[in-house]
Structure 1
């Protein structure tokens, strides 16, 4: 993968998506990534981290020698790990469906990891729902900007007593009446 590769081609892979989700505004070493993703083999993790670095999604912010090996500290790079509207609009239906199913698959896998958590207090942090909204394109941009601003203070991983949660958003236009869907 290179910096010229579309972000969707880089990020919308289940392992790479999980790697990117670990950062959330913080820096991590490759050892910390291995601890956070114990089900991903070391070779697979390094291969996907390398693809993310090559694409500019992750950046190496520090390297240090530890027992003869180089340990890298990584952070989100100069390319946002977010597929923008232009890229989504350029995808054909099959690619868009595949990207969405990759996202849903990782969301489901994250839910399975939550269910495996032996801490009963974790249940107080789970929730899901759906709300219909009636918006223009400008309204949607305002909502998304407002959410970014609202959530910014909660992206600090070092807040005392804070527990990490994953907040996923999905925006899908409602099909007008009479539009056939696959069943």
Structure 2
């Protein structure tokens, strides 16, 4: 498997982002992916799944025979579709803008689906907020580690009645030149 291409080059494609968003925190068969993404032609879906598999962004977690064909179950792979700090630093301004716009577009689409489907009962689980934090690089690393420890028990369904919720984080350092007092 090749990993030479920067992950941003691999995941910053609208169809690939949709696939990654569908698989975030769960596994799905290729049939389930086709059903979840009806706007994507089957050949196009399979081509992008193959590219994500080749880059270790996706992994095959199970294969089984179904009516003479092999059905694959997919999940996020080793690279986890995460653009790390090293790759962030290597991106130019155009690539960063594109990545951020793709991220925001995905959030916006999820929000619109919630409103379009008129799931008013789900709005109690909706939230968005913003909070300033004061961190150095060491603090940020510790915060991210602690955050994952807190989230880990909630990454898989544990009982009936639970709803899948997308939690997105954005870290944007302020550039106004002020230093904390």
TM-score, normalising length: structure 1: 0.88
Q: Counterpart of 2:107?
A: 107
* 8 A Cα contact 1:2 1:51, kept in partner: no
- Which stretch of the first structure deviates more once superposed, 76-85 or 87-96? 76-85
Q: Counterpart of 1:54?
A: 54
Q: Counterpart of 1:127?
A: 127
* Aligned-pair CA distance for 1:135: 1.2
Structure 2 unaligned segments of length 5 or more: list them: none
Q: Counterpart of 1:89?
A: 89
- The total of aligned residue pairs comes to 178
* 8 A Cα contact 2:58 2:80, kept in partner: no
2:5 is paired with a residue of what secondary structure?
coil
Q: Counterpart of 2:69?
A: 69
Distance 1:158 1:18 in 2: 25
* Aligned-pair CA distance for 1:40: 2.5
Structure 1 unaligned segments of length 5 or more: list them: 179-183
1:98 is paired with a residue of what secondary structure?
helix
* 8 A Cα contact 1:12 1:103, kept in partner: no
Matches within 5 A, 1:15-54: 15-54=15-54
TM-score, normalising length: structure 2: 0.89
Distance 2:13 2:145 in 1: 26
Distance 1:4 1:175 in 2: 33
* 8 A Cα contact 1:52 1:58, kept in partner: yes
Distance 1:171 1:71 in 2: 38
